[in-house]
Amino acid sequence: MTISIIIPVLNEENYISNLLDYLLEVLNPEFTKEIIVVDGGSSDATLEILNNYPKIKIYNSQKGRAIQMNAASKNATSEILYFLHSDTFPPKNFDEEIINQIKKGNLSGCFKMKFDNNHIVLKVSQWFTQFNHKSCRGGDQSLFVERNLFKKLNGFNEKLTIYEDNELIHRLYKNSNFTVIQKPVTTSSRKYLKNGVWRLQFHFMMIHIKFLLGLNQENLTSYYQKNIQ
């Protein structure tokens, strides 16, 4: 039983090398079989940087994280898919932790999360990620799922341009024993610092509420594009 790490990227020249260097240092080759980076049409130096990593599998795809991650999953060769953002760092022994959960019958899950910033709003937000409830989930916590289950659920919804992680997670809660590993991934607060922590937290909360109320993707996307940089 092995893991394929899947990382969607778009113009991540400032972040991707840090993550890849870290993963190559801490992964256990007994558990992690491959790292797949799928690019959605970067116009910066992302692809040039990726070419410096011969051990990494690189694919090109149409833009859109859901589309990119689905495309990469079709080329993955492991029994477990682990979806990771380019600015999120999993804990040491992450792959062994994932394997252990799959062996227990928990075919999907994530890690709890912490930010790389100690702002009080972010500390409160990350505190909730320890709880195993779908309202506490988000893509920055990373996501692992057994490959056959992922196929059964038809993967990510490619019609979604935002909130694609949460939409799949909601389906996983209905169709599997979703678990939260009580070790944190560390994720970047760059978007909060750019938009303002209080302001961005409010807008993320509004998008979450809109999603739970069943508002369509056009409404969510319009709200995101209007309020979040």
C-alpha–C-alpha distance, residues 229 and 84, integer Å: 21
C-alpha–C-alpha distance, residues 165 and 168, integer Å: 5
C-alpha–C-alpha distance, residues 109 and 182, integer Å: 11
Predicted TM-score (pTM) of this structure: 0.94
Torsion angles phi and psi, residue 63, rounded to 5: -65, 145
Domains of the chain in start order, with CATH, are: 3-118+129-188 (3.90.550.10), 189-229 (no CATH)
Mean pLDDT of the chain: 95
Q: Measure Cα distances from 208 to 39, 198, 213, 215 in Å.
A: 27, 15, 9, 10
pLDDT tens digits, one per residue of 93-148: 999 999 999 999 999 999 999 999 999 999 999 999 999 999 899 889 999 999 99
Q: Classify residue 130 as exposed, middle or buried by CB count within 10 Å of its CB (0-12, 13-18, 19+).
A: middle
pLDDT tens digits, one per residue of 193-213: 999 999 998 998 898 888 888
